[in-house]
Amino acid sequence: MHFLSTFGFALACLASAHASTPVIVKPADGTHISPGQAFDFSYQSIADYGVSSYNYSVYLFTTPPLAFMTSQNFGAGHYFGRFAQPNYPGNPNPSNTPPATFVMPDFSKPPGGFGAGASATNATFYLAVFEEYSNGEGVPGNRISFTANRVIYNATSH
Ligand SMILES: *[C@@H]1O[C@H](CO)[C@@H](O)[C@H](O)[C@H]1NC(C)=O
Ligand SMILES: *[C@@H]1O[C@H](CO)[C@@H](O)[C@H](O)[C@H]1NC(C)=O
Ligand SMILES: *[C@@H]1O[C@H](CO)[C@@H](O)[C@H](O)[C@H]1NC(C)=O
């Protein structure tokens, strides 16, 4: 999504003409999700003819993921996991396909230990995907795409 220019995700940066556009289909941008609610997840991978996708990682940022700088307070959020979309020949038969739904944590519940938890009302969070892929043009390591949709946590209206 192009909702924040600071996200800097520009399709022009994708080096291959064949790449699909990585899109978080569900939850759509602006979806309301309650604490503890299961929500549909669907992701369109960048994999395409000429582009191999290996894995993608799904995060929920509860603060805007604006700048990747070394910091003890880089941000806040939750990691949903590392998944893959079958694509031939790069990763034809992955064992870690994503679930159809994730459950939004209730962040008001203390996570244990020294954790405190915090309530939030009508908060804008960012469901984000980093995808590891390659398009046949050599680079040390995999290329990594980034996309994010806003979700409204504990919305005041439905
Ligand atoms: C994908 O991620 C899983 C889990 O971290 C890992 O075991 C696997 O080797 C990765 N596959 C590729 C192709 O990177
Ligand atoms: C959700 O918002 C209400 C106020 O509308 C608040 O009382 C409640 O604590 C919030 N819940 C969570 C889990 O943050
Ligand atoms: C809740 O958040 C949405 C999205 O940011 C905003 O449009 C709306 O005005 C907010 N509602 C209240 C009552 O603050």
Asked if omega into 64 is within 30° of 0 (cis), the reply is no
3-class secondary structure, 119: coil
Residue range 68-96: mean pLDDT, rounded: 95
Residue 158's pLDDT is what?
63
Tell how far the Cα of 4 is from the centroid of ligand 2, in angstroms: 26
* Cα–Cα dist 140/68, whole Å: 19
For every residue of 94-121, which 3-state class applies, written as one string? CCCCCCCEEECCCCCCCCCCCCCCCCCC
CB 50 within 8 A of CB 16: yes
11, pLDDT greater than 60: no
Model confidence at 67, pLDDT cuts 50, 70, 90, reads confident
Average pLDDT over residues 2-28: 62
The atom of ligand 3 lying closest to the CA of 122 is 1
Q: Take atom 12 of ligand 1 and give the residue whose Cα is closest.
A: 54
The pLDDT tens digits of the residues spanning 31-53 come to 999 999 999 999 999 999 999 99
Spell out the domains of the chain, with CATH numbers in brackets. Answer: 5-153 (2.60.40)
Q: Which two tokens stand for residue 24?
A: 């978080």
Closest CA to 89 of 50, 124, 37: 50
Residues in contact with ligand 1 by the CB-under-6-Å rule are: 54-55, 82, 84, 91, 96
| Closest to 107 measured CA to CA, from 96, 97, 120 | 120
The pLDDT of residue 90? 96
Given this model, what pLDDT does residue 20 score? 86
For 85-143, the pLDDT digits (tens) are 999 999 999 999 999 999 999 999 999 999 999 999 999 999 999 999 999 999 999 99
Task: Determine the pLDDT at residue 66.
Answer: 86
